[in-house]
Homo-oligomer: A and B are copies of this chain.
Amino acid sequence: MTARTIGVFDSGFGGLTVLRELLPLIPGAHYLYLGDTARLPYGSKSQATIARYAVESARFLQSRGAGHLVIACNTASALALDDIRSAVSVPVTGVIEPGAHSAWAALAQPGAQPPPAARPQDSIPSNSRQVLVLATQATVSSHAYHRACSRLGLRAVEKACPLLVPLVEEGWIDHPVTRQVIRIYLTEAIGEGSPDAVLLGCTHYPLIKHAIQAGLRALGHSIPVIDSAHSTAFDVARAMGVCLLGASCKPAPSVTFACYATDSVEKFARLGSQFLGQPIPHVELLDLGG
């Protein structure tokens, strides 16, 4: 059964948006979701600390039988994917490459094929399509999206938006302050440039996608806003050899999931259900020793 047990990891609740996309895609699977809520947010921490935390969580999920790991956290994917892959013996999927691929697909001509896997290019032609990546400070500092976009021939402009996670967690989803903060960040990021798409490089941001789209329109940029949850879920299904033809849009009845959190399980169940889009009946408290 471990081949059909999928471990999904995030520092908090945001990765539940990826689990939400996975549930209808892979019938018969059992999901283990771990939110390292006692130690969030990862986005303002150093690479060494993030890698240590993420490796502990990944090892826990493997020890509970996960046959595939999804690092549904942009910061951990950006800064710790190699460390995680070295620490476990099962396949690991992050969210950075699928996110960049989604941006490429949104901007490509119909029928185009992505360029073959290549090293990141130091110089991208100035007429390349430009992607504005909104993310945490740690993800931006890693330049992981810059490298992933560059491999696909896209120019990435990366913008740290440290207030967006606290605003989402405050519940100010459709709120004038959130709209104002988004407009400030977008204005700072866009400057004189003209992005062709915006990529949401943090799993909290899909909850304020409409506000980001409205902010872009107000600044005269009616461009696609892309998140990586959907394409990450498809990458996992492909990697597991799941037939995607006829995949239902609703969870198959046989799909089950268990949630673990390293801090308040009550808060996890309450806030997490907004991200997952369905009630979370039970959360188990987990002590990772931190």
A39 touching B163, Cβ below 8 Å: no
A45 touching B38, Cβ below 8 Å: yes
Q: Does A222 contact B (CB under 8 A)?
A: no
Tell which of A80-88, A177-185, A196-204, A237-245 binds the partner.
A177-185
B-side contacts of A181, CB under 8 Å = 177
Kindly supply a per-residue 1/0 record for chain A positions 30-58, scoring 1 wherever the CB is within 8 Å of any chain B CB and 0 otherwise.
00000001110000111001000000000
For chain A, give the interface size range: 20 to 34
A166-198, CB < 8 A from B: 166-167, 169-170, 172, 176-177, 180-181, 184
Q: Does A162 contact B (CB under 8 A)?
A: yes
B263 touching A46, Cβ below 8 Å: yes
**Nearest residue in B to A38 (C-beta to C-beta)?**
B49
Q: Does A264 contact B (CB under 8 A)?
A: yes
A136-162, CB < 8 A from B: 162
Q: Does A289 contact B (CB under 8 A)?
A: yes
Whole-angstrom distance between the Cβ of A269 and the nearest chain B Cβ: 13
**Nearest residue in B to A47 (C-beta to C-beta)?**
B264
Chain A residues with a Cβ under 8 A of chain B: 37-39, 44-46, 49, 162-163, 166-167, 169-170, 172, 176-177, 180-181, 184, 262-264, 267, 289-290
Could you give 15 example pairs across A and B, Cβ below 8 Å?
A: A38-B39, A38-B45, A45-B263, A46-B264, A162-B166, A162-B169, A163-B166, A163-B167, A163-B170, A176-B180, A177-B177, A177-B180, A180-B180, A289-B290, A290-B290
